[in-house]
Amino acid sequence: MLRSQVKYTVRDLQQLKGKRQLTHIHVKSGDEATAADQAGVDLMSCPFDTPIAQARLPEIIAAAPTAFISGSTPHGMATPEEAIRTGFKALEMGASSVYCSASPFLIEGMAREGIPVVGHLGFVPRHSTWTGCRAIGKTAEEAQELFQKMKELESAGAYAAELELVPHRLATYLCGKTSLLLMSLGSGDGCDTQFLFSDDILGDYNERMPRHAKAYRDFAAEYRRLQEERVAAFHEYVEDVKEGRFPEKGNTLSIKDDQFEKAREAIEKLT
């Protein structure tokens, strides 16, 4: 199957498990989705956790209509019913599946209704208060706990799970012990997909690059350059207005003399 021609289904992805590693990028806009699509990226995910993000989803879907795109659900869904409504809303807007970092309790509710769900294992940023910001699974005890959580997601009906900051050897081993598609974010190349955020790939921030990521461009520097150009352009505009250089003749409109005189005479009678 050529991803550029036919949209993946969950069944397609399940059949690809163990055959080749898929590429996966989290995008934030239609422009990024188009770029990822044209570059031949296999899978995408995008935000669906705020009203603004939800309003932007149709733009992202339209930008890459044959791409398999997962929407990231809001943190703090309180009940399975709320999770189900959110999941169906994402699917109705064009998402192929949803990502959810919540417990198997909520994931099971969505999966029970046929909503394709991606869970989260390893380091989970939204739950970092319990673990700290670090790799997960470096001890035998923690590795066993990670395995149990993986099986809980599998039993809950998730079809995949993001596996974040797990030692490469352990991640590869776990990938062979589950029917879940494991999506590696900083967990090596032994999983089913290799996952990065567009921010990482584009160097789209000023903070220190995460160890697990790789920047292929330096958009942060480009944004700084563009901001300097904005300031310079606005300053030149201000100076042109002050010195009478703007507007020029080509920036204004004209009216024929006879039409102006007719208008002036009519206005004078009214004043």
Q: Which tokens is 107 given?
A: 């994931």
CA distances from 64 to 115, 144, 162, 236, 241 (A): 21, 39, 22, 39, 44
Q: Which tokens is 81 given?
A: 């019913």
Top CATH class, 10-217: alpha beta
The predicted pLDDT at position 37 comes to: 96
> 128-166 as b/e, with b when 16 or more CB fall inside 10 Å?
eeeeeeebbbeeeebbeebbebbebbbebbbbbbbbbbb
Q: What is the DSSP letter of 124?
A: -
Is the dihedral angle over the CA atoms 121, 126, 129, 132 positive or is it negative?
A: positive
147 neighbors 177 (Cβ within 8 angstroms)? yes
Domain borders along the chain are: 10-217, 223-270
Active site residues: 164
CA 156, distance to chain mean position in Å, is 25
The predicted pLDDT at position 1 comes to: 44
Residue 10: Cβ within 10 Å count? 15
Question: Tens-digit pLDDT profile for the chain (271 aa)?
Answer: 445 567 999 999 999 999 999 999 999 999 999 999 999 999 999 999 999 999 999 999 999 999 999 999 999 999 999 999 999 999 999 999 999 999 999 999 999 999 999 999 999 999 999 999 999 999 999 999 999 999 999 999 999 999 999 999 999 999 999 999 999 999 999 999 999 999 999 999 767 788 889 999 999 999 999 999 999 999 999 999 999 999 999 999 999 999 999 999 999 999 8
Among the listed residues 195, 149, 146, the one whose alpha carbon sits nearest the alpha carbon of residue 171: 146
Output phi, psi for 255, to 5 deg.
Answer: -130, 140
Q: What is the pTM of this model?
A: 0.88
Alpha carbons 25 and 151: distance in angstroms, whole number: 25
SS3 of residue 105 by DSSP = helix
Among the listed residues 155, 165, 156, the one whose alpha carbon sits nearest the alpha carbon of residue 211: 165
